[in-house]
Amino acid sequence: MGLKRAIQEKLLFLYHFFYKPGQIGSVTPSSKYLAQKMVECVPWHEVNYIAELGAGTGAITKHIRTAAQRNTKVLLFEKDPHMLKTLKVEFPNFSCYKNTTELQAVVYEEGIEQLDCIISGLPFFNFPQTLRDKLIEQITATLKDNGLFIAFQYSQQMKKQLSYHFHLEEIKFVPLNVPPAFVYVCRKKEQKSLFVAGLNKTEQ
């Protein structure tokens, strides 16, 4: 990436951080260390369908492009129209969409049964609980049983909610990011185990 492009990305993030704080969680794009840490968690030889939520300016997306198999179908989601337009230009082989809350409808529209993996840069900390619930509902509905959900956050606030739907295989700390981040490596629980967990919760 050229110096001019890097400066433009940082200025764009800074603008959104101050003027649209609910949509973005940082003043700067994800570092290469954070992007690499997330992408290296994916067993790419087993992934046919993957989505990135909150793709932003493509800081993680470019690492996905490098690591993905040639036949891997990649869906990108970004709410900001300017960033979305940039993603469409930079990643013409990926399908780009605006609304993450319509993830299930998009997957159906693409003719995909279920996703093998979902990578997320969404700032859950900034969202009201109702939106968090809706997003997690969409994620679990579209992800196959035992599929991976890999998300970075700037705190461990989402740990309890994620633990209900996923096996938290690992939480990796990435200090070389602004701000430092946690990478949640989550594996979706089978529907049967969720049903049993719900019964146990009701009996308590």
Q: What is the pLDDT of residue 14?
A: 47
Structure tokens at 68: 């993905």
pLDDT one-digit tens code per residue, 168-203: 999 999 999 988 999 999 999 987 655 455 555 545
Write down the residue that tokens 């046919």 correspond to: 48
User: Could you tell me how far CA 178 lies from the centroid of its own chain?
Assistant: 18
pLDDT at 2 over 70: no
Determine the straight-line distance between the first and last CA of the chain, rounded to whole angstroms.
55
Q: How far is CA 171 from CA 41, 48, 55, 103, 200, in A?
A: 11, 24, 21, 25, 26
Q: Is the pLDDT of residue 8 over 70?
A: no
H-state helical runs in 143-190: 159-165
> Helix (H, G, I), strand (E, B), or coil: what is residue 80?
coil
Is-above-0.85 flag for pTM? no
Residue 166 has pLDDT above 90, yes or no: yes
| Partner residues linked to 52 by β-bridges | 76, 119
Read off the pLDDT of residues 82-122 as tens digits, 9 standing for 90 and up: 889 999 999 999 999 999 999 999 999 999 999 999 999 99
180 contacts: CB under 8 Å, gap ≥ 6 = 154, 173, 174
Q: pLDDT at position 194, please?
A: 52
The answer to whether 107 touches 139, Cβ cutoff 8 Å, is: no
Closest listed residue to residue 77, CA positions, set 49, 106, 114, 48: 106
Q: How confident is the model over 18-75, as pLDDT tens digits?
A: 445 444 444 467 889 999 999 999 999 999 999 999 999 899 999 999 999 999 999 9
Q: Residue 51 pairs with which residues in a beta bridge?
A: 75, 118
For residue 191, the model assigns a pLDDT of 72
Lookup: tokens for 16: 């959104």
Q: What pLDDT is attached to residue 128? A: 93
